[in-house]
Amino acid sequence: MLSSSSLNLSFIALVALPIALLPDPLVAQPTNTSSTSDASPAQAAAPAPSTTSAYVRNWTRVEGWDYFAPKPEGGDPTYAHISNRLQVGVEHRSRRFDVTGTLQYVQFGGLPSSSGGPGPYGTGAAYFGHSGDTSSNQVYLRYLNVRLKDLGPVSLQVGRMGYTGGTESPSGNGKIDAVKNMRLASRIIGEFEWSIYQRGYDGVRADIDQPAWHATAIAFRPTQGGFEEQAGTHMSDLDLFGVNVSAKPDAVLPNSEVQLFAYRYDDRREVTGRPDNSGRSATRVDVKVNTFGGALIGAYPTSAGEIDTLLWLTGQTGSWYGQDHGALAVAAEAGYQWNEAPWRPWLRGGVFRGTGDDDLGDNRHGTFFQMLPTVRKYSLSASYNLMNSTDVFAQVVLRPTPPLNIRLDVHRITLTEGADRWYFGSGATQNMGTIFGFGARPSGGETDFGTVVEGSAGYTINPHWSINGYVGLIKGGAVVAESFDGDNLTFAYFEQVLRF
């Protein structure tokens, strides 16, 4: 049943709607002069007509987990479950404004009731941990927003919306946009897209788009979601403010896009979970983090293909449960795609390093805080995240035929600081309760997490129907041995997507 709390703050969209619905100014329509020889060539073209459309999208997924074998007191690491996500939406597009409204229904079957300790054994256990129900389900408001476009150089979006940090504006360069979507989007702010419940953002977004640059400013509160059954509920105690400015390709550097960003994360939720290495309890969240940095994404044609590069740097200041917070993260990646070769192989590699806390006894918190990301973009197994981690990886993307896309990855994962913990999760999921949204397991002073080998494939059967799947294997190291008896993890899923 649709909860009234899921509508909180979307009233902003309804306030803006009457303004948006004012009729457009009268525009003289050109006279049909097809049979006249002296028609004026300077007659103005009619504006694009307003359109209203409905859409239906449905995802059905089957997941199977064989998690690291637990110690004797642990739960069951092996299970499978099924889930379905249905979206029904309406969109209105016109010269002056756009309106979007979407309802979402989620249903699970076969969630594991005893697959945890310490922490959840995979995503199915996380869904059950939030709901306590093996067949968790919910209907809720996914989107309701108005975008006002007739405001000079500014467009203003108000209500409940999605937001993906790093991809605020297309660059116009296909390779740069591909790298941004695969390796920059949602590193620190995202919609928790791959989770079944997902998350949205209530608030205001303003954009200015110019020939050489684009700027986006946001003032948001996220919704519950991700693994949380009461999805769509407004988080009144978590504020997110930010700005992203991007210089389009060639504006600053040839064949390159430059981004600068700054965000403020202010979390006061009534949540008792505290994901750090202090061992201290909490009565509520007390986290205020400033995140600032930049990205440089390049695409450089050669005679046989194209070189791509990505450099991403970020620093953090603020406070963490009364402690001073200071952290850093960096990603450096490069790739090459052979455009004329069979299967158009795209080979990429790189390294990511996010700082950890090296001394639990001092008054400084040094773990890079990922805020509100979509972790699975950078951890396809969803078994670790970018906090206190170092990831050296290689990947190849293949396109045997236009409808078929294949990706293969190898990752070597270590903890940056052995004194810190093994972190997992994708950020805030509930406004009050015991679950922060990030979790942590002890490292035992070790840094070797393990090696990940994984592959995924997607096939577009027709414009309305596509399928995709994934298989990932982790060979755990000394960090895993601290919490588990077994060192092998296998995760696989199959999904079909319908769009109408």
For residue range 202-222, what is the model confidence (pLDDT) as tens digits? 999 999 999 999 999 999 999
Residue type, position 312, single letter: W
Q: What range does the domain containing 117 cover?
A: 4-20+49-499
> What is residue 48's predicted lDDT score, i.e. its pLDDT?
67
Torsional sign, CA 361, 237, 119, 116:
positive
Q: Is residue 333 part of a domain?
A: yes
Q: Which residues pair with 221 in a beta bridge?
A: 202
| CATH number, domain with residue 459 | 2.40.160.100
**Which pair of structure tokens corresponds to residue 409?**
């990855």
Q: How far is CA 244 from CA 208, 213, 220, 326, in A?
A: 11, 11, 14, 21
One DSSP character per residue, 37-104 reads SS--TTPPPPPPPPEEEEEEEEEEEEEEEEPPPBPTT----EEEEEEEEEEEEEEEE-SSEEEEEEEE
**Other beta carbons less than 10 A from residue 294's beta carbon:** 16
Determine, yes or no, domain membership for 294: yes
Using DSSP's 3-state secondary structure scheme, residue 384 falls into coil
Which residues in the chain show pLDDT less than 70? 1-48
Residues 107 and 124: their CA atoms lie apart, in Å, by 13
395 alpha carbon, distance to own chain's centre? 20
For residue 42, is it within any domain?
no
**336/281 Cα distance (integer angstroms):** 48
d(CA 329, CA 187): 11
Name the DSSP class of 226: B
Are the C-beta atoms of 387 and 413 separated by less than 8 Å? no
For residue 31, is it within any domain?
A: no
Q: How far apart are CA 467 and CA 346, in angstroms?
A: 22
Q: How far is CA 159 from CA 164, 201, 223, 262, 358, in A?
A: 16, 8, 12, 22, 41
Is residue 34 assigned to a domain? no
pLDDT digits (tens, 9 = 90+) for 417-454: 999 999 999 999 999 999 999 999 999 999 999 999 99
Q: Does any domain span residue 37? A: no
* CA separation, residue 303 to residues 46, 340, 435 (Å): 44, 10, 53
Instruction: Compute the distance between CA of residue 47 and CA of residue 498 in angstroms, rounded to an integer.
Output: 33
Within-domain flag for 29: no
Which tokens sit at 163?
């937001």
Residue 291 has what pLDDT? 98
The conformation of residue 493, written as its DSSP 8-state character, comes to E
pTM of the model: 0.90
Is 161 contained in some domain? yes
CB 437 within 8 A of CB 428: yes
Find, among 329, 320, 276, the residue nearest to 441 by Cα: 276
CA 431 to chain centre: 19
pLDDT of residue 3: 43
Rounded Cα gap, residues 19 and 17, in angstroms = 5
| 3-state SS string for 298-339 | EEEECCCEEEEEEEEEEEEEEEECCEEEEEEEEEEEEEEEEC
Contact yes or no for 406/346 (Cβ under 8 A): no
Q: How many domains does the chain divide into?
A: 1
CB burial readout 407-438, b (16+ within 10 A) else e: bebebbbbbbbbbbbbbbbbbbbbbbbebbbb
